[in-house]
């Protein structure tokens, strides 16, 4: 990563490096070996543009970040009336019902121990076997670095309605387990690459209101395509919600008790700048349904940490986090920006609501290595500062560190991991206390 504060003097190669690695690794990373050729072809096109433009140009076809702001302007605004109404609704839904009490009674005889291995995990931009093996080799001698977090798109996991393919996850679990490490699975319902599909094809029909909505990513046309938009799943539609719940149920039935599976998480809550704005009713329904998906997935994985990455919109986050804490759903986030006003004022305080109740897992994204505020000028923080913020301010049980494909940021992370400043206890200095909403914590079942 370029460390200069004079952006105009930045070399083109390093500007492209920042663009590529940020675009590849946003929201948890993840990709396939087959995408490498397309990524290289796109990179050649990027190298022809000026430095400042290269810093904001889409490059790789999988797990891409937005080039325009990831967070739409309205998501940074706070509607106090709507926020209070949504919070109240989630608090009411959290009150025990006869059905919930009956389910709790039935669960009393079940094995509800949660696999619990706090520590540091590495997020990869690609998940081809060679990249995974290389990353595992780099952390093999670091017991505090427990494993990897990899991203899998919904459309890759459900190839047709009710037809599931978890073979890639199972392969990656096997690779991690073989190296004595563990795996976090991120289920992605949002894609940033132009023309990418956020949901399986069968959902993209009138029955499901198209299944997804287009999000503006500020991109040029994708190579060989006129498409300029990413997608986000249309979770305001109850039928789309129910299909995502079904995916979680199928995954849980197959993978929940795998001892190498540490956790399952969903990508960030930021909805993005929609091509066609959603109504207030649709936004409210979206986050009400997301809360239901989170809770249902936690029930489908009773022995595995289930997490939701949160950031924006501000209006719905207090209610969503309240629901998560009541349902035993862990709280994670896509960014550690040390000096960002919006995050420090409105989002990071929500971690305090979850602290001690559920697991907490912030992540360090490529842009977090480069600046301390969203879309800020280059101002690279020290790795030790990112670590201290996650450990102390956010009370992390898990920290996810992105391993960009280019630049010197990840070598700096590895250097910190090997330094005397990095605690040598089993969790690398992170909190290990079993959260109060978990029946019990165990290293393995």
For residue 130, which phi and psi values (nearest 5 degrees)? -65, -40
| pLDDT value of residue 92 | 81
pLDDT for the residue 192: 81
Confidence check: pLDDT of 426 > 70 = yes
**Where are the chain's structural domains?**
67-442
> Quick one: pLDDT band at residue 273, thresholds 50, 70, 90?
confident
Averaged over 59-70, what is the pLDDT?
41
3-12, 23-32, 62-71, 157-166, range with the lowest pLDDT: 3-12
- Whether the pLDDT of residue 195 is over 90: the answer is no
Q: 383-414 burial string, b = 16+ CB within 10 Å, else e?
A: beebbebbbebbbbbbbbbbbbbbbebbebbb
- 187: region left, alpha or beta (phi > 0 left; psi from -120 to 50 alpha): beta
The pLDDT of residue 25: 41
pLDDT of residue 422: 97
- pLDDT-derived band at 91 (thresholds 50, 70, 90) equals confident
pLDDT score recorded for residue 36: 38
pLDDT of residue 109: 67
Q: What is the mean pLDDT of residues 192-202?
A: 88
| Mean pLDDT value across residues 377-392 | 97
Q: Between these two residues, 342 and 94, which has the higher pLDDT value?
A: 342
> pLDDT of 209-233, one tens digit each?
999 999 887 655 445 556 678 899 9
Cα–Cα distance, 369 to 349 (Å, whole number): 22
Rounded mean pLDDT of the chain?
84
**What angle (nearest 5°) sits at the alpha carbon of residue 398, between those of residues 416 and 315?**
120
At 339 the pLDDT is 97
Percent share of the chain, pLDDT over 70 = 78
- pLDDT at position 127 is 86
Q: Which of 174, 363, 170 is nearest to 265 (CA)?
A: 363
63: confidence class by pLDDT, cuts 50, 70, 90: very low
Q: How do residues 104-163 score in pLDDT, each as one tens digit? A: 556 666 899 999 999 999 999 888 999 999 999 999 999 999 999 999 999 999 999 999
pLDDT at 209: 94
Mean pLDDT of 394-410: 96
Q: If pLDDT is split at 50, 70 and 90, which confidence band does 19 have?
A: very low
Tell me what pLDDT residue 125 has: 86
**Integer Cα distance of 112 and 442 in angstroms:** 10
- 3-state SS record for the chain: CCCCCCHHHCCHHHHHHHHHHHHHHHHHCCCCHHHHHHHHHHHHHHCCCCHHHHCCCCCCCCCCCCCCCCCCHHHHCCCHHHHHHHHHHHHHHCCCCHHHHHHHHHHCCCCCEEECCCEEEEECCCCCHHHHHHHHHHHCCCCCEEEEEEEEEHHHHEEECCEECCHHHHHHHHHHHHCCCEEEEEEECEECCCCCCCCCHHHCCHHHCCCEEEEECCCCCCCCCCCCEEEEECCCCHHHHHHHHHHHHHHHHHHCCCCCEEEEEECCCCCCEECCCCCHHHHHHHHHHHHHHHHHHHHHCCCCEEEEECCCCHHHHHHHHHHHHHHCCEEEECCCCCCCHHHHHHHHHHHHHHCCCCCEEEEECHHHHHCCCCCCCCCCCCHHHHHHHHHHHCCCCEEEEECCCCCCHHHHHHHHHCCCCCCCCCCCCCCCCCCCCCCEEECCC
Instruction: For domain 67-442, give its CATH number from 3.20.20.80, 1.10.3720.10, 3.40.50.720, 3.30.950.10.
Output: 3.20.20.80
**CA–CA distance from 157 to each of 185, 250, 330 (Å)?**
12, 10, 22
Tens-digit pLDDT profile for residues 278-331: 999 999 999 999 999 999 999 999 999 999 999 999 999 999 999 999 999 999
pLDDT for the residue 333: 95
Question: What's residue 1's pLDDT?
Answer: 37
* 3 band by pLDDT with thresholds 50, 70 and 90: very low
What lies within 8 Å, CB to CB, of 25 at 6+ separation is 63, 65, 123, 124, 125, 365, 366, 402, 403, 404
Rounded average pLDDT over 347-356: 96
Rounded mean pLDDT, 190-204: 89
Specify the pLDDT at position 9.
Answer: 35
Instruction: Please state the pTM of the whole predicted model.
Output: 0.84
């Amino acid at each position: 990563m370029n460390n200069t504060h004079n952006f105009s003097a930045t070399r083109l190669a390093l500007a492209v490096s920042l663009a590529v690695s940020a675009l590849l690794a946003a929201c948890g990373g993840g990709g396939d070996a087959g995408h490498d050729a397309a990524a290289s072809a796109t990179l050649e096109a990027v190298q022809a543009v000026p430095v400042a433009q290269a810093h904001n140009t889409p490059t790789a076809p999988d797990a891409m970040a937005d080039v325009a702001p990831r967070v739409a302007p309205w998501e940074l605004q706070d509607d106090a009336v709507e926020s209070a109404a949504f919070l109240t609704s989630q608090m009411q839904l959290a009150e025990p019902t006869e059905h919930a009490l009956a389910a709790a009674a039935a669960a009393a005889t079940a094995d509800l121990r949660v696999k619990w291995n706090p520590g540091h995990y590495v997020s990869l931009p690609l998940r081809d076997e060679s990249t995974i093996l290389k990353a595992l080799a780099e952390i093999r001698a670091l017991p505090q670095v427990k494993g990897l977090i990899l991203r899998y798109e919904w459309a890759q996991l459900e190839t047709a309605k009710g037809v599931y393919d978890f073979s890639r996850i199972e392969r990656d679990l096997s690779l991690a387990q073989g190296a004595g490490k563990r795996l976090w699975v991120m289920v992605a319902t949002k894609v940033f690459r132009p023309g990418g599909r956020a949901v399986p094809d069968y959902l993209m029909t009138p029955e499901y209101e198209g299944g997804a909505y287009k999000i503006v990513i500020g991109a040029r046309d994708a190579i060989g395509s006129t498409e300029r938009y990413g997608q986000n799943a249309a979770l305001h539609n109850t039928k789309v919600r129910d299909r995502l719940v079904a995916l979680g149920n199928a995954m849980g039935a197959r993978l929940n008790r795998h001892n190498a599976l540490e956790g399952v998480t969903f990508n960030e809550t930021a909805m993005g700048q929609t091509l066609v704005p959603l109504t207030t009713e649709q936004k409210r329904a979206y986050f009400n349904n997301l809360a239901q998906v989170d809770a249902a997935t936690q029930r489908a994985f009773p022995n595995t940490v289930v997490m939701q990455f949160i950031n924006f919109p501000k209006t719905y986050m207090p209610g969503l986090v309240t629901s998560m804490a009541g349902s035993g759903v862990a709280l994670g986030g896509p960014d550690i920006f040390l000096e960002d006003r919006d995050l420090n004022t409105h989002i990071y305080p929500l971690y305090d609501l979850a602290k001690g109740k559920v697991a907490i897992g912030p992540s360090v994204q490529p842009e977090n290595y480069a600046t301390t505020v969203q879309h800020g000028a280059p101002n690279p923080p020290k790795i030790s500062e990112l670590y201290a913020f996650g450990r102390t301010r956010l009370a992390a049980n898990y920290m996810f560190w992105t391993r960009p494909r280019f630049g010197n940021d990840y070598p700096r992370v590895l250097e910190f991991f090997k330094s005397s400043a990095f605690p040598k206890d089993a969790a690398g200095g992170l909190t290990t206390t079993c959260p109060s909403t978990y029946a019990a914590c165990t290293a393995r079942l």
